[in-house]
Amino acid sequence: MKDRVRVGIVGAGWAGQTTAKFYRRLPWVDIVGWADFVPGKAAAAAAEFGVAPEAVYLDFDKMLDEVDMDAVSVCSFNNGHREPTVASLARDKYVHLEKPMAATLEDAQAIMRAADKSKGQLMVGFQPFFSSEHKAAREIVQSGALGDIYYAEAVAHRRWGMPGGNFVKKATAGAGSLVDIGVYAIHAALTLLGDVTPVTVSAFTGSPLAKRYPRINHGFGGSWTADQVEVEEFAAGLVRFSNGSVMVIKSAWNSNIDSMGRSFFLGTKGGLALDPLELYVNQQIGDLNMTSVPKNVRPIEDWPEKIKVFAEIVRDGSPSPIDRRAVFLVNVLMDGMLRSAEAGREVDVTAAY
C-alpha cells in the first residue's frame, strides 16, 4: 500500500480539469504531470491546479519518460485515447481512461492487448457504474431476482441536446451520440446482462434533424451548423447474443419526442428498470403485480466516487472494479451498429481482439 499516489494527466480540456478537481479532494494524491498537444492548454490547467511548470508537456511520451508517476488519467478526445493509454500500460502504469474505451474497434482492440500484457491496471471511467442506483441494480440482478434475462433495452435520450465542437467531428469524436451518451446506457446494460457474447447487430443511424437545422446551435463543447455535422445524432439497433437473449439500443442527441423510454430488463422471474430504479415481480402474492422501489439507497456523487475508487486501487495495488471486457463489448456493439447502418443489413460481430 502506497502512502501517496502520483498521477499524470493527458488532456487539459473539460474532462481533464474535472478529473483534476476531484483528485484535489484527496489529500494523499499528487498531480505530478500534465500533457496536452495544444500549446499553452496544459500550462493553463496546471497553473490553476498547482502543478509545477516544469511538469507540463506537449508530448505525453516525454512526460511518461521524465516524470515519476504511479498512474495516468487519459482525458483526451475520443480518437486520442489509444496512444497514451497503450504507452502508459506498456510502462506498467495504472490507467484511468475516460469513456469510451476508444472511438474505433481497432483502437479498443489495441488497448485490450496492451492491458493484457501490462502489470498495471486499466479502469475505463464510466461514472454511472458508481452511482447508488446502478450499484443497487447490480445487487438485485446478482441475487437472482430477475431469473434469466431474455430481453433488454439500453436507452440514452435527449429531446434536443446536441453538443458541438469536437463532438460533431469524425476526426476527433469518431462517432456521435453513440460514442457520447449511448455508451453509458450500453455499458450499464452489459454489466447487468452478465457474461454475454454478442453475435449479430442490425442498426440504423443518421442525423435527420441536425442536417436540417437552419441556424447556429450553441451546445456543450461549442457551436455547430448543419454543414459541420459529420456524425450521427440518432442510432437504434438490435443485438442478438449467443445465449438467445436480445437487446435494443436507442441513442439520440435530438428527437421530436419527450422520451424514448427507460433502460429496462425482462427476466423469467422479474423485471427491472433504471433511472429511477424499480423492480417488478408478478403474481408473488396472489394475483398482485408488485413494484419495489428501494428506499435506503444513499446518494453518491458518481464522478468524484469514480476518481476516488481509481486512486484507491492505485494506492492499494488492487484490480479495477470495472470489468474491461464489458467495456470492450461496448465498442464491439457500437462498431457493429455503425457497420450495419452503413451496409443496410444485419452484420456479424466478434468479441475477439
Same domain? For 66 and 172 the reply is: no
pLDDT band for position 31 (cuts 50, 70, 90): very high
- Run of H or E including 272: strand 270-273
Question: b vs e for 85-106, b when ≥16 Cβ sit within 10 Å of the residue's Cβ?
Answer: bbbbbebebbbbbbbbbbbbbe
> Which pLDDT belongs to residue 295?
87
Same domain? For 18 and 120 the reply is: yes
- Cβ distance 27 to 5 under 8 Å? no
Task: Count up the domains in the chain and report the number.
Answer: 2
> Which whole number is the average pLDDT over 190-213?
97
Q: Which residues, in sequence order, are bridge partners of residue 162?
A: none
Angstrom distance (rounded) from CA 330 to CA 187: 6
Same domain? For 308 and 279 the reply is: no
> Which pLDDT belongs to residue 353?
96
Q: Rounded to two decimals, what is the model's pTM?
A: 0.96
> Which pLDDT belongs to residue 10?
98
**What are 313-340's pLDDT values in tens digits?**
999 999 999 999 999 999 999 999 999 9
> Which whole number is the average pLDDT over 285-314?
92
> Which pLDDT belongs to residue 102?
97
Angstrom distance (rounded) from CA 195 to CA 322: 13
323 is a domain residue: no
CATH number at residue 12: 3.40.50.720
Cell of 128: 454511472
Same domain? For 160 and 267 the reply is: yes
User: What's the mean pLDDT when you consider all of the chain?
Assistant: 96
209 is a domain residue: yes
- Run of H or E including 240: strand 234-241
> Which pLDDT belongs to residue 229?
97
Angstrom distance (rounded) from CA 258 to CA 271: 23
CATH number at residue 161: 3.30.360.10
167 is a domain residue: yes
Same domain? For 220 and 294 the reply is: yes
Residue 200 has pLDDT above 80, yes or no: yes
326 is a domain residue: no
Same domain? For 260 and 313 the reply is: no
337 is a domain residue: yes
Residue reference for cell 500549446: 39
- Inter-CA distances, 301 with 132, 228, 298, Å: 9, 35, 10
Same domain? For 139 and 116 the reply is: no
Q: Taking the chain, what is the end-to-end CA distance rounded to the nearest angstrom?
A: 33
**What are 223-258's pLDDT values in tens digits?**
999 999 999 999 999 999 999 999 999 999 999 999
Same domain? For 94 and 174 the reply is: no
Cis peptide before 304 (omega within 30 of 0): no
- Cβ distance 50 to 21 under 8 Å? no
Domain that holds residue 121: 5-126+302-318
Per DSSP, the three-state class of 133 is helix
Residue reference for cell 475520443: 78
- Run of H or E including 290: strand 288-292
- Inter-CA distances, 174 with 13, 36, 106, 338, 340, Å: 18, 19, 12, 11, 16
Residue reference for cell 446478482: 142
Same domain? For 275 and 313 the reply is: no
pLDDT band for position 51 (cuts 50, 70, 90): very high
- Cβ distance 20 to 80 under 8 Å? no
Same domain? For 43 and 183 the reply is: no
> Which whole number is the average pLDDT over 126-136?
96
79 is a domain residue: yes
> Which pLDDT belongs to residue 282?
84
> Which pLDDT belongs to residue 284?
72
**What are 151-197's pLDDT values in tens digits?**
999 999 999 999 999 999 999 999 999 999 999 999 999 999 999 99
**What are 7-20's pLDDT values in tens digits?**
999 999 999 999 99
> Which whole number is the average pLDDT over 114-118?
98
324 is a domain residue: no
262 is a domain residue: yes
> Which pLDDT belongs to residue 11?
98
- Cβ distance 2 to 71 under 8 Å? no
Same domain? For 259 and 337 the reply is: yes
**What are 58-93's pLDDT values in tens digits?**
999 999 999 999 999 999 999 999 999 999 999 999
**What are 253-290's pLDDT values in tens digits?**
999 999 999 999 999 999 999 999 999 998 777 888 88
Same domain? For 294 and 183 the reply is: yes
> Which pLDDT belongs to residue 296?
87
